[in-house]
Amino acid sequence: MPLEWRDQLSIGVPSIDADHKQLIAIINEFEAGSSAGAERLQSVARKLFQYAASHFEREERLQVLNGYGRHQAHQAEHNALLDSLEAFIQSHFIDRTKPIDTASAAEMAAFLKHWLVDHLIHSDLKMKGLVTER
């Protein structure tokens, strides 16, 4: 099932909410392409990595501008997320430790959904009311 944006996910900063919606769209694109073959999936996973890296920078910049107290812990979490996504791309598309079929692609999509949604709910929402557009 595709991820769906819900108003409860809003942190009240339009540019950050727009980025989060875009990340959800890329993960849904990955899931929708689960039978499109390894090359296609790898390119969507790389697109997700690029977009996440630039989004994390934007989010961290706003945290600094707002004097957000959890900035360092949040940045460490972003770095860990990028590391885990990189490891994911490496094992699934470079080392090819398992075959890429519809079932494994569905597992990958589940991993990516958790990867994003856990962070949105457990960390990003803590910024609500404390970080504003600057």
What residue ranges bind Fe ion (CB under 5 A)?
A: 124
Distances (CA, A) of 53 to 5, 110, 127: 20, 20, 19
Q: Which residues contact 59 (CB under 8 A, 6 or more apart)?
A: 16, 19, 74, 78, 124
Closest distance of CB 77 from Fe ion, Å:
7
Nearer to Fe ion, 6 or 102 (CB): 6
User: Closest residue (Cβ) to Fe ion?
Assistant: 124
Q: Detail the DSSP E strand segments found in 35-129.
A: none
Closest distance of CB 33 from Fe ion, Å:
25
Quote the CA–CA distance of 70 and 122 in Å, as a whole number: 12
Nearer to Fe ion, 31 or 124 (CB): 124
Closest distance of CB 73 from Fe ion, Å:
11
Nearer to Fe ion, 41 or 85 (CB): 85
